[in-house]
Structure 1
């Protein structure tokens, strides 16, 4: 029995699916001891649907949760090379059909995130809340980038305060649908929500006494934001005639990463 899927409206060009896991896991009367081509096609389809749904939360998608959602009773769980083959097919379909990149989380084994390759072109379709959150996130990422890829939290709080942001003040402009309260603070968003969503890393600084933390870019930020765009964002903040090239150290870093990305694309093409 195939999964039950309903299409609902989304800000993306594609639809968001409502996944009926109970039907997906309905017992198949035939006991399966291996994954044949028909099973694999069904697993790929269900895995793609499940990942698109879970991506709404912007948190890492775990292998264990994928298996629970798509493997039916009586069917052998794909392991080792079989699971790798499944993920490779899912990765290809997400890219070709939806324009979405499946990214392995470098800090955690068997966890994945989805990155919309059309992200920058869709910014005009976002709501006021989404636009505000993206602007604040861009600002935070720029502070980290301009400070050499990491930024101590006290430097971050002081910088935001100088720009008029009260990081402890609640704002409806930061709220999203799945939050328990209507209002959240910038500090909570930065140290909890964006950390869960892998936009930011918030780690204790080695040897700090009293204990303090630092911010760094998370894996999702590394794939959704280009450093050169962040550098241009900094130039826009200053609202003068400065160009990215004027920030020599940061500009050179952008060029190095861009050259590396080009080499990777050549190898994988």
Structure 2
């Protein structure tokens, strides 16, 4: 009987050790993927854990929960589940509001484009038509009129990274492509940061823009 108890205890300890290994491997995998800003498919995580740690399907939720705790504590990240056409996906976002998007986007030009695009959408109060966005960025001196590479940063790079949402609205001749804030931007970029930048540029008080100021301060108070 005592031998059986020792055996059971050994099995439980081994199972716990395997779970710890899976959590560490899950964290490592997510941190390695974070740099691309591309959403991570749950199926990719499951496959990786099964390959490296032989993690069972019914253990994946536990591994993800514990891995998320480690991401927050050690790296200041969190996993956020996002809408996807096929399967569950996650993005890795900062847990603390940043004072800028410098830590999120390394390339200076891309950073300027992102801040300008998000600000234009925010100050416009809703989706911005594609043509209006190109006109704005051209007048701001950030994109040449026929800079297709620069435009692709917005329509592809920032869209895949979920900083921007790029979609078509309307039907037939009335159909238009529009830009909106993506889920990563909603999670990471404080609207008050953008509004303060606007205020500095135009030498105004942030509350000069009443609606935007109300939205930005409500966002701060809700966190």
Aligned residue for 1:57? 36
Distance 1:227 1:121 in 2: 11
Q: Map Cα deviations across residues 68-92 of structure 1 (whole Å, 9 max, x no partner).
A: 212137935323xx32222110110
Match of 2:111 among 130, 134, 141: 134
Q: Relative CO higher for 1 or 2, CA cutoff 8 Å, sep ≥ 6?
A: 2
Give the alignment's TM-score, normalised by structure 2.
Answer: 0.82
Aligned residue for 2:69? 92
Match of 1:255 among 208, 217, 222: 217
Aligned residue for 2:19? 40
Distance 1:56 1:166 in 2: 28
SS of 1:69's partner is helix
1:248 to partner: Cα distance? 0.2
Distance 1:87 1:148 in 2: 36
Aligned residue for 1:196? 160
1:135 to partner: Cα distance? 1.8
Unpaired runs of at least 5, structure 1: 1-31, 171-184, 263-269
1:55 to partner: Cα distance? 1.1
Match of 2:151 among 187, 195, 205: 187
Q: Say if 1:167 and 1:186, in contact at 8 Å, map to a contact too.
A: no
Q: Which has the higher helix share?
A: 2
Give the alignment's TM-score, normalised by structure 1.
Answer: 0.69
Aligned residue for 1:16? none
SS of 1:58's partner is coil
Pairing of 1:1-150 with structure 2 (within 5 A) = 36-72=15-51, 75=54, 77-79=56-58, 82-107=59-84, 110-117=88-95, 120=98, 130-150=107-127
Unpaired runs of at least 5, structure 2: 1-10
SS of 1:57's partner is coil
1:162 to partner: Cα distance? 1.5
Give RMSD over aligned pairs: 2.7
Q: Say if 2:22 and 2:53, in contact at 8 Å, map to a contact too.
A: no
